[in-house]
Amino acid sequence: EILLVSFLPSLTGYRDAIAFVILIVVLLVKPTGLLGEKVTDKV
């Protein structure tokens, strides 16, 4: 978030929005968490 704003200072007003977008993307890509275990269905 801070790196993006430092490279593109015109986005300073969108810091919170950028943080939420990053959070949502991480949750969509890795819904079990960064250190989560893989969930397997036992049949």
The per-residue pLDDT for range 1-31, each reduced to its tens digit, is 677 777 777 777 777 787 888 888 888 887 7
Do the beta carbons of residue 17 and residue 1 sit within 8 Å? Answer: no
Confidence of residue 34 (pLDDT cuts 50, 70, 90): low
User: Any idea what DSSP says for residue 31?
Assistant: T
Q: What is the pTM of this model?
A: 0.55
Confidence of residue 36 (pLDDT cuts 50, 70, 90): low
pLDDT of res. 33: 65
pLDDT of res. 25: 86
CA–CA distance, 17 with 11 (Å, rounded to integer): 10
